[in-house]
Chain A
């Protein structure tokens, strides 16, 4: 018998904090991280001394960045662990913190993502296995090929795929933490510059620096520290999977998403159609269409039409990437998955202001990381 999160005591997000995602700057990672953690502690209304463990997601800071950053909150001697899982790094930090509290290793755990992405240094180039593509098929071209295949089988046009960026830019313009905070017309998105295949610059996520923090607590901790239980949001399910061999080579991102989402929804005992808000891995526009179809939120080949019909707008049946998504909120790697959980928490509390999805009660955060790995978390109010 394998346990899942529901088999342990319930865990709640009680505090969220962010440093805006932005272009690389002189700001140190220490400043980025402390800004997010202090904001999360303020949001929770609790002292740093109440935090019992830290899982810090980062992929670019180098060895041992956590304590030298967090010592400036006052050394408390708590366990601190770095987590790296490519783009899903922050999501894995959230999962580790949730499991830590659920299993009773701590009453309160901090899931943190801080990063300053520099030159990518991926292990796949060091396996000794040669590649035919000679480094010419980087992620944006991987997804350009998938976009071409998607257009072939669905009949969608390049403009219909680009419309995802228009929707997410509209949401990002209302998010003070977003890297891109500007609305864009379809013409602006389409005019380029062209990057690869049908993908233009605004259809590719910006990778910059930033930080996101989420404080996860037990019911006992909420009671003992006198935290505001009415603002606590439960993490109802957490699932993580990795790629296996599929019958459709090249589409492993969608297949992995399909399996991860099915397991997560099953564990939370909900349907995909119950979701009010969904943050997903929209690093490139076509991904949003591939994944909403893989998840069952749209029928195969109908994702673009559903976006065009406004189903995934704020105010639609399910707000997809209300934060702006990776396309507009940005993708600083380590913080991204943590920031998704912060956004969903804000939405379920009804505190998302101009980008509030009305009456949001159920949300899901989905991430992928090269390798490939996938995570999903269901949050419930």
Chain B
């Protein structure tokens, strides 16, 4: 299963055995690793073209910070919900909606992993695959 937008490669994918990976990008010229994948050019050294290669990143990491969002104008999710800042084991830091809706279930420095959630808020007939992070295990 892949989570996708209208164009380009998916932000994340899930293997048959349930492992979720984020699609990052590595610069073969300077070694910079980033998320999400893009091929405009390396943010560190400016390399482009063949120097930028897609690099899957394990959707596992450490929860650095979290916050309950009480005000949200979008129709894609009901507030309150919780978002977090996650340091991936593979390097980059990402921010993402969390599965948990109550901060008491979360700890700073705790292990979290990416999970695919079907979100039907925007279109009940065509739920969208969405990545959220949640407590590992």
Contacts and interface: CB of A to CB of B under 8 A. Distances in A.
Contacts of A135: 74, 76
A136 B71 CA distance: 10
B67 A197 contact: yes
B65 A149 contact: yes
A63 interface: no
A28 interface: no
Interface residues of A, number: 29
B28 interface: no
Contacts of A152: 65, 108
> For chain A, what secondary structure do more than half of its interface residues adopt (helix, strand, loop), or is it mixed?
loop
Contact of A194 (B5, B12, B43, B70): B70
Interface in B85-104: 85, 92-97
Contacts of A133: 83, 95-97
Contacts of B40: 127, 129
A245 B43 contact: yes
Contacts of B69: 136, 141, 144, 196-197
Interface in A138-186: 140-141, 144-149, 152
A139 to B, nearest CB: 12
A149 to B, nearest CB: 4
A140 B95 contact: no
B48 interface: no
A132 B95 contact: yes
Contacts of A134: 74, 76, 97, 130
B125 to A, nearest CB: 20
Interface in B1-19: 5, 7-8, 11-12
Given A132-B96, A249-B92, A144 B67 contact: yes
Contacts of B64: 149, 250
Contact of B44 (A127, A130, A144, A245): A245
Contact of A129 (B38, B108, B131): B38
Given A130-B36, A148-B67, 15 more contacts: A132-B35, A132-B94, A132-B95, A133-B83, A133-B96, A136-B72, A136-B83, A137-B83, A141-B67, A148-B66, A196-B67, A196-B71, A245-B32, A249-B92, A250-B95
6 contacts: A129-B38, A132-B35, A135-B74, A141-B69, A193-B71, A250-B85
Interface of B: 5, 7-8, 11-12, 22, 32, 35-36, 38, 40, 43-44, 64-72, 74, 76-77, 81, 83-85, 92-97, 108, 130-131
Interface of A: 127-137, 140-141, 144-149, 152, 193-198, 245, 249-250
- Across the A-B interface, the 7 shortest Cβ-Cβ residue pairs: A197-B67, A144-B67, A148-B65, A149-B65, A249-B93, A194-B70, A145-B65
